[in-house]
Amino acid sequence: MATHRPLYVAIATMTLTMASAAMAADYPSRPITLVVPFAAGGPTDVVARSLGAELGKELKQPIVVENRTGAGGTVAAAHVANAQPDGYTYLIHHNGMATAPALYSSLKYDPLKSFEYVGEVVDVPMTLLARKDFPPNNMAEFIEYAKANADKINLANAGPGAVSQLCGSLLQQALGLKFTTIPYQGTGPAMTALLGSQVDVLCDQTTQTIPHIQAGNVKFYGVTTKDRISKLPDAPTLNEQGLKDFDVKVWHGIYAPKGTPAQDVAVFNNALKTALNSPAFKQKMADLGAEIVSEERQTPESLQNWVQSEINKWTPVLKAEGINVN
């Protein structure tokens, strides 16, 4: 009997290899859910839906975008971390993946242990906006006005862990002032509130703000990146308007629940690379001031390293600020 064992093992291994090859060839055989941590219509959602359309063409299955809002993106991340690792649930998230651990003491996932990484997607600058009827017309006037009226200023955001909150915190820190913050389920609804003059100020990604800036629906004080951006070349940065070293950029990555089969992640990653290269997605992102990441960054390893380095960067900054949600 014992002499036949290697043969059994060889046959069993071959059968398994053939079975997993067949499974990989079949994948995906039904629609895939892409979870977005913020409200529909907002800037992360815009990236997810534009990307989802291209991924769907590539994978030959619909990508169903599901908005799971709450707690600055942590509700969606926890949902995906605990979803079936069967290759049919993915998460698109931003900087919040790396800032949440410093803000929430009872996170139900670990950004470094609960996911399979798929790859990075786009980098998006942010912009500082105010309602159209807010008195200051530019950054210099805003700084002067804020110093005299800080207690009257309402700053909208998408909750602790959101980039709008990070940007708003850094703004208040740089000015040495405290505003009243009003959280929404995403900056889609926050923008609606700004357009309706229910809040005064919002810091948000260009993937939502550019059309409103171009249409003159809002007052626009500057971009949050260290350097000016090519889509809005005449717009000064906050850095060059006195907020020294102000530099906030939003990055997006795609994740799957830990344990998702490696071959499924590889199929999804290939589709991601093709989608990021598609003329329609490229054009849409260029129109909205977003920059598609380089090929080296479209990999699981790059996203994993990036999340780790962003956790290292932001944890001390956020801890020092003393914001702790629960």
The partner residues of 249 in beta bridges, in order of sequence, read 125
52 binds ligand ASP (CB under 6 A): no
205 binds ligand ASP (CB under 6 A): yes
Q: Which of 27, 28, 35, 43 binds ligand ASP (CB under 6 A)?
A: 43
Q: Which stretch binds ligand ASP (CB under 6 A): 115-123, 180-188, 270-278, 283-291?
A: 180-188
Q: Which of 28, 188, 257, 300 binds ligand ASP (CB under 6 A)?
A: 188
Q: How far is the CB of 208 from ligand ASP (least distance, A)?
A: 7
Q: Which of 130, 163, 194, 272 binds ligand ASP (CB under 6 A)?
A: 163
187 binds ligand ASP (CB under 6 A): yes
What does each C-alpha distance from 103 to 86, 93, 175, 254, 321 come to in angstroms? 30, 16, 22, 21, 10
Q: Which of 64, 74, 66, 78 is nearest to 39 (CA)?
A: 66
85 binds ligand ASP (CB under 6 A): no
Q: Which stretch binds ligand ASP (CB under 6 A): 42-50, 193-201, 259-267, 270-278?
A: 42-50
123 binds ligand ASP (CB under 6 A): no
101 binds ligand ASP (CB under 6 A): no
38 binds ligand ASP (CB under 6 A): yes
129 binds ligand ASP (CB under 6 A): no
Cβ distance to ligand ASP smaller for residue 28 or 186: 186
- What are 111's two structure tokens? 């950004």
Q: Which of 216, 246, 209 is nearest to 231 (CA)?
A: 209
Q: Check if the beta carbon of residue 282 is closer than 8 Å to that of residue 293.
A: no
Cβ distance to ligand ASP smaller for residue 204 or 264: 204
289 binds ligand ASP (CB under 6 A): no
Is the sign of the CA dihedral 263, 267, 268, 269 positive or negative?
positive
Cβ distance to ligand ASP smaller for residue 59 or 121: 121
- Rounded-to-10 torsion of CA 220, 221, 227, 232: 20
Cβ distance to ligand ASP smaller for residue 164 or 298: 164
Q: How far is the CB of 33 from ligand ASP (least distance, A)?
A: 18
Q: Which of 72, 114, 116 is nearest to 96 (CA)?
A: 72
Q: How far is the CB of 236 from ligand ASP (least distance, A)?
A: 22
Q: Which stretch binds ligand ASP (CB under 6 A): 21-29, 35-43, 74-82, 223-231?
A: 35-43
243 binds ligand ASP (CB under 6 A): no
Which 13-32 residues touch ligand ASP, going by CB under 6 A? none
Cβ distance to ligand ASP smaller for residue 206 or 302: 206
Contacts with ligand ASP, residue ranges (CB under 6 A): 38-39, 42-44, 158, 162-164, 186-188, 204-205
